[in-house]
């Protein structure tokens, strides 16, 4: 019988992407790049060297209200 000591690690939600500079699959850091009406633009950065690995839009309905207030 093998005891499953690594169970706690399986809950760790870290997204990994390939980094050309590190030549390895690295854990990414998420940085809020831009706030747009109804959505946020996030940038993925390499946690080792800080290289930009990609961007992602995430819808944020709360932002719609903020945009209306600003106008
Ligand atoms: Zn890197």
Q: What is the pLDDT of residue 11?
A: 44
Quick one: average pLDDT of 44-49? 95
Look at residue 4 and tell me if it is in a domain. no
**Prediction pTM value:** 0.63
Please give the distance, rounded to the nearest whole angstrom, from the Cα atom of residue 51 to the centre of ligand 1: 5
Look up the domain containing 36 and give its range: 15-70
Look at residue 32 and tell me if it is in a domain. yes
Please give the distance, rounded to the nearest whole angstrom, from the Cα atom of residue 17 to the centre of ligand 1: 9
Look at residue 7 and tell me if it is in a domain. no
Helix, strand or coil, per DSSP, at residue 70: helix
Please count the structural domains in the chain. Answer: 1
Please give the distance, rounded to the nearest whole angstrom, from the Cα atom of residue 70 to the centre of ligand 1: 38
Q: How confident is the model at residue 66 (pLDDT cuts 50, 70, 90)?
A: low
Residues in Cβ contact with 5 at an 8 Å cutoff, skipping those fewer than 6 apart: none
Please give the distance, rounded to the nearest whole angstrom, from the Cα atom of residue 33 to the centre of ligand 1: 19
Q: What is the pLDDT of residue 5?
A: 58
Give the tens place of pLDDT for each residue, 18-39.
Answer: 999 999 999 999 999 999 989 9
Look at residue 1 and tell me if it is in a domain. no
Look at residue 3 and tell me if it is in a domain. no
* CATH code of the domain covering residue 41: 2.20.25
Look at residue 20 and tell me if it is in a domain. yes
């Amino acid at each position: 019988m093998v005891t499953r000591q690594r169970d706690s690690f399986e809950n760790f939600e870290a997204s990994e992407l390939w980094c050309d500079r590190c030549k390895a699959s690295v854990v990414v850091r998420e940085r809020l790049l831009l706030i747009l009406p109804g959505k946020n633009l996030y940038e993925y950065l390499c946690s080792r060297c800080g290289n930009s690995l990609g961007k992602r839009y995430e819808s944020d309905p709360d932002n719609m209200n903020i945009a209306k207030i600003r106008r």
